[in-house]
Structure 1
């Protein structure tokens, strides 16, 4: 998945996720692209976690470095609804981060919904 520095991919989030009125979650694995700076991404991740956790509807936002695989990260987000996720993705103060994310990482995303929803 790729994107320019200021725009998220148009097809990133399935319509059924955005329409959800119940909690949704995102699990992803991201690998640093060759030649990209691991230190820069870790700084961006730290800033992003702090900002995202303050957003309305953010129930959990976590990023983990994998053990034994430098430059590979696991992400987990849980949002109260699709509308909350959309607000997060459209937050103008996070555009630079989102641009860095898709420019510097190869990302595999899984969209999740609770079985009890």
Structure 2
């Protein structure tokens, strides 16, 4: 099975940034507990107010499909109603190189 990376981009409606941030943060804990979740990291743009991304890594496409069928993801559309400025953009991709080792060269 090939590991899978997902980038999910969302933009908040003006004035709804805090509400969207909160709704997205609520997904992190339950998703981290899912089998097959390697990374599920929420990011917020420093340059564009209200722009958020999830950076996700899954052990397989099957693990991602289970995630998409989870109770917390199924409840998400109702929670996001009125908070988004446009559709959620989902990009599925694969890593082309090994991740940087945690050892690095810092402090040498």
TM-score w.r.t. length of structure 2: 0.74
> Could you tell me which residue of structure 1 aligns to residue 74 of structure 2?
95
Aligned length: 95
Do the aligned partners of 2:39 and 2:57 also contact (CA within 8 Å) in 1?
yes
The whole-number CA distance in structure 2 between the counterparts of 1:110 and 1:102 is 21
Higher helix share: 1
Tell me, in whole angstroms, the C-alpha distance in 1 between the residues paired with 2:11 and 2:91: 15
Please say if residues 45 and 51 of structure 2, whose CA atoms lie closer than 8 Å, have aligned partners that are also in contact.
yes
In the alignment, what sits opposite 1:42? 21
Where does residue 91 of structure 2 map in the other structure? 110
| 1:22 is the counterpart of 2:2 | yes
Match of 2:41 in 1: 62
Q: What is the aligned partner in structure 2 of residue 32 from structure 1?
A: 12
In structure 2, stretches of 5+ residues that fail to align are: 98-108
* Aligned-pair CA distance for 1:74: 1.9
Q: Unaligned 5+ residue runs, structure 1?
A: 1-20
Residues 94 and 66 (structure 1 numbering): CA distance in 2 closer, same or farther, change over 3 Å? same
TM-score, normalising length: structure 1: 0.69
